[in-house]
């Protein structure tokens, strides 16, 4: 294929994150199908937009480029036939350069009302003919603010054909040490004397906490993360709010973990009735869920979860993206 597709984002591609992982996965798959695909982002190999700063965004801290290299950005957009912007709310400056090209945008985040109002204002300066996509119905609420041509294409994974569930006394948390990801609930759970005497508490995060019951693993890359997941049995998705998909929870199931998740709408949308749910941010409800796992053989439950997540296989979802690129 001669079609040149530019995947564009303001997120730092050298930092770990759901958006960055999806861009890399999509780029690799498109290139394997002979589409000419390049990435334009801070610290990207193809078009490097320069340095980033850590900014509070949507109850999180994100490494974002506020002052990109304009020369590189213009060069990248000039090269492309199709521009695919990931997280279109950031950066605002992109829109002024992209109005003459076919533009697809993907909303990864579930934004609060403040950001939605700002995005409505942004719409006044954007290409009116863009195609707006979202990774979930939760994120689709943002997509409608930019375009009436809005559709859901879920986040993707590469299915692990060798995945299997092996019970072990390991509980795993993956996420930044911030309020939204709710590592505090994980630390609180580790203070339960009965569970602490039975389980190992492992947290893959960006900042070490002070709880002596938790093994904090820092600076873990994607390969290491997946290896750790294969050696744990239970993954805890503890997010309190502003979650649109929760790709790490799907990755955990894909690596043999049974998913225990807070009852947020996004997790119910992604996992349907296959996950073991607890009441959001409720330690008593979470303890009951862990006790249930302790006292029951849940391999069949994991099999249900594993069969369910096959719908997110990149080999299936790539055709949806190709359809958007070629037909919309």
Whether residue 11 contacts residue 20, with contact meaning beta carbons closer than 8 Å, is answered with: yes
Q: What per-residue confidence (pLDDT) applies to 137?
A: 85
Please compute the mean of the pLDDT values over residues 152-160 and round it to a whole number. 96
Give CA 35 to chain center in angstroms. 24
> Is pLDDT of 123 > 60?
no
Q: Which domains are present in the chain?
A: 4-156+313-327 (3.40.50.2000), 170-311 (3.40.50.2000)
Task: Give the closest residue to 171 by CA, choosing from 259, 101, 100, 93.
Answer: 259
pLDDT bin (cut points 50, 70, 90) of residue 122 is: low
Mean pLDDT (the chain) is 88
Please compute the mean of the pLDDT values over residues 111-135 and round it to a whole number. 64
pLDDT digits (tens, 9 = 90+) for 21-46: 999 999 999 999 999 999 999 999 99
How many CB atoms neighbour CB 272 within 10 A? 12
- Of residues 4 and 90, more confidently modeled: 4
> Is pLDDT of 128 > 70?
no
Whether residue 278 contacts residue 289, with contact meaning beta carbons closer than 8 Å, is answered with: yes
Percentage of the residues of the chain whose pLDDT score is greater than 90: 63
Please compute the mean of the pLDDT values over residues 200-225 and round it to a whole number. 94
What kind and span of H or E run contains 96? Answer: helix 95-98
Cα–Cα distance list, 290 to 76, 214, 261, 283 (Å): 49, 16, 11, 10
Q: What per-residue confidence (pLDDT) applies to 15?
A: 86
> Is pLDDT of 119 > 70?
no
> Is pLDDT of 12 > 70?
yes
> Is pLDDT of 111 > 80?
no
CA distance 136 to 77: 27
Q: What is the 3-state secondary structure (H, E, C) of 117-153?
A: HHHHHHHCCCCCCCEEEECCHHHHHHHCCCCCCEEEC
Q: Could you report how far apart the first and last alpha carbons of the chain are, in Å?
A: 18
Task: Classify burial at 243, counting beta carbons within 10 Å of its beta carbon; exposed 0-12, middle 13-18, buried 19 or more.
Answer: buried
The pTM of this model reads: 0.89
Whether residue 21 contacts residue 41, with contact meaning beta carbons closer than 8 Å, is answered with: no
Task: Give the closest residue to 8 by CA, choosing from 123, 71, 98.
Answer: 98
Q: What per-residue confidence (pLDDT) applies to 174?
A: 96
Q: What per-residue confidence (pLDDT) applies to 53?
A: 85
Please compute the mean of the pLDDT values over residues 266-279 and round it to a whole number. 96
Strand ranges of the sheet holding 214-218, from the earlier edge strand across to the other edge:
214-218, 200-205, 170-174, 234-237, 258-262, 276-278
- Strands 53-56 and 61-64, by their bridges, are antiparallel
Please compute the mean of the pLDDT values over residues 203-215 and round it to a whole number. 95
> Is pLDDT of 172 > 80?
yes
Low-confidence winner among 12-16, 181-185, 192-196, 317-321 (lowest mean pLDDT): 12-16
DSSP per position, 233-276: SEEEE---S--S--HHHHHHHHTTPEEEEE--HHHHHHHTTSSE
Whether residue 248 contacts residue 277, with contact meaning beta carbons closer than 8 Å, is answered with: no
Task: Give the closest residue to 220 by CA, choosing from 12, 14, 11, 16.
Answer: 16
Low-confidence winner among 113-117, 168-172, 176-180 (lowest mean pLDDT): 113-117
> Is pLDDT of 92 > 90?
no
For residues 83, 88, 92 and 93, what is the CA-based torsion angle, rounded to 10 degrees?
-10
The alpha carbon dihedral of 12, 14, 17, 21 has a sign of positive
Please compute the mean of the pLDDT values over residues 74-102 and round it to a whole number. 75
pLDDT bin (cut points 50, 70, 90) of residue 91 is: low
- Strands 258-262 and 61-64, by their bridges, are unpaired
Task: Give the closest residue to 73 by CA, choosing from 8, 4, 24.
Answer: 8
Q: What per-residue confidence (pLDDT) applies to 239?
A: 94
Low-confidence winner among 49-58, 152-161, 242-251, 279-288 (lowest mean pLDDT): 49-58
Q: What per-residue confidence (pLDDT) applies to 310?
A: 98
Please compute the mean of the pLDDT values over residues 196-220 and round it to a whole number. 95
């Amino acid at each position: 294929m001669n079609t040149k597709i530019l995947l564009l984002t303001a997120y730092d591609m050298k930092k770990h994150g759901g958006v960055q992982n999806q861009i890399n996965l999509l780029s690799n798959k498109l290139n394997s199908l002979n589409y000419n695909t390049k990435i334009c982002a801070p610290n990207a190999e193809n078009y490097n937009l320069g340095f980033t700063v850590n900014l509070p965004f949507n109850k999180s801290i994100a490494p974002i480029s506020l002052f990109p290299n304009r020369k590189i950005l213009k060069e990248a957009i000039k090269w492309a036939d199709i521009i695919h912007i990931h997280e279109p709310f950031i950066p605002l400056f992109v829109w002024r350069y992209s109005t003459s090209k076919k533009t697809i945008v993907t909303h990864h985040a579930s934004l609060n009302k403040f950001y939605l109002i700002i995005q409505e204002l942004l719409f006044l300066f954007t290409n009116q003919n863009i195609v707006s996509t979202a990774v979930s119905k939760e994120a689709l609420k943002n997509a409608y603010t930019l375009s009436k041509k809005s559709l859901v294409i879920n986040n993707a994974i590469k299915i692990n054909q060798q995945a299997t569930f092996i019970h072990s006394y390991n509980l795993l948390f993956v996420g930044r040490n911030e309020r939204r990801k709710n590592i505090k609930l994980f630390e609180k759970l580790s203070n339960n004397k009965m569970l602490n005497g039975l389980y190992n508490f492992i947290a893959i995060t960006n900042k070490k906490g002070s709880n002596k019951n938790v093994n904090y693993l820092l600076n873990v890359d994607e390969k290491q993360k997946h290896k750790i997941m294969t050696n744990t049995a239970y993954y805890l998705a503890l997010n309190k709010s502003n979650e649109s998909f929760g790709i790490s929870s799907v990755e955990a199931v894909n690596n043999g973990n049974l998913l225990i998740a807070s009852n947020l709408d996004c997790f119910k949308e992604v996992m349907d009735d296959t996950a073991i749910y607890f009441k959001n941010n409720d330690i008593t409800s979470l303890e009951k869920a862990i006790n249930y796992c302790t006292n029951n053989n849940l391999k069949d439950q994991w099999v249900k979860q594993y069969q369910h997540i096959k719908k997110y296989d990149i080999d299936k979802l790539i055709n949806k993206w190709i359809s958007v690129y070629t037909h919309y």
